[in-house]
Every structure is written in structure tokens, then in C-alpha cells.
């Protein structure tokens, strides 16, 4: 067996049935890593499951979760606690709540059974074994997106379709993430890298998986074909914007719009661009959170990096940037990530949303967290090579009305 073959034998050992049914899965589920394997276990009777199991909560816990949802716009919203209170169903519960808040179910005449089926599929397609890229991260990003949609500069300008797209893209932006980055998929010759020609591999997969679940659930089947197709395409545009290799492209365009003062939110194209920026901010905003939550996300994403590095080391592959646990410390990774990715983006977001209490709060946390990670670096000596994350060049006072988003992943598509 070749080295590449051995790597993927190890990496997908829990997904043995994939090869035999590859063609069928490509058609039915667009190359999902997770749901096919889960379904196979269900068919063998190894995992107890009932249709209502997502929502069988203890009354006390349900009450506490409901109380948290009443404060879902608070910047110190604890998504980890909320996930525990909902028995690991934070994404489904949060999305149903927000769809009700915005009246999206009535506006789009959505079938509740189909909506629950779709959201359950999305949540299930996230890999719970990933320390970072899991359904809790998706819920965190969704809650952050909700907070950004509530910004005064945006709230009055957005159409129901804008809100629908923003929340849906946030919930599904990392669906079926394998816990490794694009370079890893490319150098191990994974079929997704070949399928998407080594370009925005993970983001393309997240989008296509979302489209597959939309069609399988029939959530949009009652809408005119041209409308449902437009929704699918716009979801793709939003999810593909989270590719970190396009960071400079989006940042420069955003900065130019702000410098020229030519953003017109009456234009659908400009609102869509702001949704792209908002999703990018939500995806990497964990350094803007209170330290107790930000630190947890930082440790989780670095653990995911280190797992990839260990796998690369095991098979004598070059260890990817940020993935060497012996050389790349959490404080060094986070200091570089904040300096080169988060700060520049949120400085422009603050310019756009000004005056915004939420943006002031986020920037306050960002600067405090950066200083804290910088101090911690003195106890974790590192090399200069760790200072800057690898990014491809592209030719509320507390409670200030926001919601905590998950941070980026440092993995090509979203650095830590």
C-alpha cells in the first residue's frame, strides 16, 4: 500500500463502506464523509436513534436553554453551555429559534417537518470528533451572524431573503469538515481535491453538501425552480467567501468601498457583499470574545492542527504550518492569527458599523486577548516562522448586543 493510501486508510477507518458505494454516494449525498457512515451504523442497529431524539430534553434543561435563547443577542452568550443544555443539539435549536424570531418559516411557507429534517441533517453532518470544526462551531458562527444582522447599519436594510441566506450559510459553512486542511487533501490525493481541482476544496464541498441536503430534505421544493436555484447559488457565494486564501481579496474590496463611501445597501449586490464580510467576521471572531470562551476555541483549533501534524509526521509528510505541536504553541499561533487575520478585518468592520457598541466591545476584547496571548508567549519560546499564519496571496461594556462566534481554523479555509 502506498503512503497516501495508508494515510487515508487510517484517516477513514470508520468509513469502510465508502469505496464500494462511491458512485451512489456521489449522486445521493455529494461525497459526504459522515452521514453515509452514520447511516451504515444505524442499519446495523449499532446506534439507537428515534426521529424525536433531537428534542427529548429534560424539563429543567429545556427551561434553562429557553432562558439562554431569550438572551441570544448577548455578546457573552456561552455556546458550550447552550450545547450541553440542548443535549448536543445547539445548532438545530438555535436555527429553529432564529427562524421564528425573523418570521422566516411563515414568509417562505416552510414545512416544519422538512425544516427539522434539513437542520438535523446539517447538524449530523458535522464531525463531533473534530475538536474545532464541529456543530458547536457552526452554532457559534450562526449566533455571531445573528448579532451582525442586528447591527443598526444593517438591520433595517436586509430583506427576509438576505436574513435567510445569512443564517443558512453560517449554519452550513463548514458542514462535513474532515478536520484536515486543503493542502493535506491535495498532498494525499484525496478525491475531493481532484473533484474541485485543488481550488477552494473544502468550501466547495461544504456548499455542495448543503445543496445536496436542501434537495434531499425538499425544504425548498415548493418554491419556483429559479428561486431555489438562486438561493443555492447565493449560498455558494457566501460559503466560498470563507476561503482564507481569498482574505486579501475581500479585505481590499471592503476597504475600498469604505474609503470611497460608495456602499449602497439598497443594492442587492452590495448587501450580498456585506453578508460575505459578515460571515467571514463570524467565522473568525473568537479572539473578539471574552477570554474564557476565546481561550477554549483557541485550544480546540490548535488541537485539531496538532492532530493533522501528528498524522503527517506518522507518514513522513512535511508538517503543515501551525501543525507542529513541538514548535507551534497556542500563544504563538493566536498572536499571529490576531495580528494578520482578525485585526485587519475587524478594524474595517468597525469602520462600517460605526457607531456600534458591539464593535467597540469586540475590539476591546480583541486587544485584551492579543495582549494576554503575547504575554503567554514568553513562557512558550517559539521561532519567528510561527509569527505569521500561512495565507496565500491573491493576483459592553459587556453585553453590547452581540453573540459569540467561533474563530477561524487556520486550516487554509479559516486560520485559527
Write the secondary structure of 50-92 as one string of H (helix), E (strand) and C (coil).
CCCHHHCCCHHHHHHHHHHHCCCCCCCCCHHHHHHHCCCCHHH
Residue 170 marked ligand-binding: no
Evaluated on CA atoms 197, 200, 206, 208, the torsion sign reads negative
Neighbouring CB atoms inside 10 A of 297's CB total 28
Residue 17 and residue 245: Cα distance in Å, rounded? 33
Residue 173 and residue 360: Cα distance in Å, rounded? 26
Per-residue confidence in pLDDT tens, the chain, 416 aa: 555 655 555 565 434 344 344 434 443 444 444 544 444 333 333 333 333 334 445 566 678 999 999 999 999 999 999 999 999 999 999 999 999 999 999 999 999 999 999 999 999 999 999 999 999 999 999 999 999 999 999 999 999 999 999 999 999 999 999 999 999 999 999 999 999 999 999 999 999 999 999 999 999 999 999 999 999 999 999 999 999 999 999 999 999 999 999 999 999 999 999 999 999 999 999 999 999 999 999 999 999 999 999 999 999 999 999 999 999 999 999 999 999 999 999 999 999 999 999 999 999 999 999 999 999 998 755 443 343 444 433 334 333 333 333 343 344 343 33
DSSP state of 133: S
CB 167 within 8 A of CB 95: yes
Residue 334 marked ligand-binding: yes
Cis peptide before 128 (omega within 30 of 0): no
Residue 134 marked ligand-binding: yes
Residue 133 marked ligand-binding: yes
64: left (phi over 0), alpha (psi -120 to 50) or beta: alpha
Helix (H/G/I), strand (E/B), else coil: 365: helix
207 vs 211, 326, 408, 414, CA distance in Å?
6, 35, 17, 15
Which residue is listed with cell 492579543? 370
The model's pTM: 0.82
CB 171 within 8 A of CB 95: yes
User: Catalytic positions, please?
Assistant: 133
Helix, strand, coil percent content, the chain, rounded in steps of 5 = 65, 0, 35
Q: Residue 274: name the closest of 404, 145, 363, 99 by CA.
A: 145
Residue 414 and residue 247: Cα distance in Å, rounded? 9
Residue 313 and residue 320: Cα distance in Å, rounded? 10
Residue 283 marked ligand-binding: yes
DSSP state of 289: S
Residue 176 marked ligand-binding: no
Amino acid at each position: 500500500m502506498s503512503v497516501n493510501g495508508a494515510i487515508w486508510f487510517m484517516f477513514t477507518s470508520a468509513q469502510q463502506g465508502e469505496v464500494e458505494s462511491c458512485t451512489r454516494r456521489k449522486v445521493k449525498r455529494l461525497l459526504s464523509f459522515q452521514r453515509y457512515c452514520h447511516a451504515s451504523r444505524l442499519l446495523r442497529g449499532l446506534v439507537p436513534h428515534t426521529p424525536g431524539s433531537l428534542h427529548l430534553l429534560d424539563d429543567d434543561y429545556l427551561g434553562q436553554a429557553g432562558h439562554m435563547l431569550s438572551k441570544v443577542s448577548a455578546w457573552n452568550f456561552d455556546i458550550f453551555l447552550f450545547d450541553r443544555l440542548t443535549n448536543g443539539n445547539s445548532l438545530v435549536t438555535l436555527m429553529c429559534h432564529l427562524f421564528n424570531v425573523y418570521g422566516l418559516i411563515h414568509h417562505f411557507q416552510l414545512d416544519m417537518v422538512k425544516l427539522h429534517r434539513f437542520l438535523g441533517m446539517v447538524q449530523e453532518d458535522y464531525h463531533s470528533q473534530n475538536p474545532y470544526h464541529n456543530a458547536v462551531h457552526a452554532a457559534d458562527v450562526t449566533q455571531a451572524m445573528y448579532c451582525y444582522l442586528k447591527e443598526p447599519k444593517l438591520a433595517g436594510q436586509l430583506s427576509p431573503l438576505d436574513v435567510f441566506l445569512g443564517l443558512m450559510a453560517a449554519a452550513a459553512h463548514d458542514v462535513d469538515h474532515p478536520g484536515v486542511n486543503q493542502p493535506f487533501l491535495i498532498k494525499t490525493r484525496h478525491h475531493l481535491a481532484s473533484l474541485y481541482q485543488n481550488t477552494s476544496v473544502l468550501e466547495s464541498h461544504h456548499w455542495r453538501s448543503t445543496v445536496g441536503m436542501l434537495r434531499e430534505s425538499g425544504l425548498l421544493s415548493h418554491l419556483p425552480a429559479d428561486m431555489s436555484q438562486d438561493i443555492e447559488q447565493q449560498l455558494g457565494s457566501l460559503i466560498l467567501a470563507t476561503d482564507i486564501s481569498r482574505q486579501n481579496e475581500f479585505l481590499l474590496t471592503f476597504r475600498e468601498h469604505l474609503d470611497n463611501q460608495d456602499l449602497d445597501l439598497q443594492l442587492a449586490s452590495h448587501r450580498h457583499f456585506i453578508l460575505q464580510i459578515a460571515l467571514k467576521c463570524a467565522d473568525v471572531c473568537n479572539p473578539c470574545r471574552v477570554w474564557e470562551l476565546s481561550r477554549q476555541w483557541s485550544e480546540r483549533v490548535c488541537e485539531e492542527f496538532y492532530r493533522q501534524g501528528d498524522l503527517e509526521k506518522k507518514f513522513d509528510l512535511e508538517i503543515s504550518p501551525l501543525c507542529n505541536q513541538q514548535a507551534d504553541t497556542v500563544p504563538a499561533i493566536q498572536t499571529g492569527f490576531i495580528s494578520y487575520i482578525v485585526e485587519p478585518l475587524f478594524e474595517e468592520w468597525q469602520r462600517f458599523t460605526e457607531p456600534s457598541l458591539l464593535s467597540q466591545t469586540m475590539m476591546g476584547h480583541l486587544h485584551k486577548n492579543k495582549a494576554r496571548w503575547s504575554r503567554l508567549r514568553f513562557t512558550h519560546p517559539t521561532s519567528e516562522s510561527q509569527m505569521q499564519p500561512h495565507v496565500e496571496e491573491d493576483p459592553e461594556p459587556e453585553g453590547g448586543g452581540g453573540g459569540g462566534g467561533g474563530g477561524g481554523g487556520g486550516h487554509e479555509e479559516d486560520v485559527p
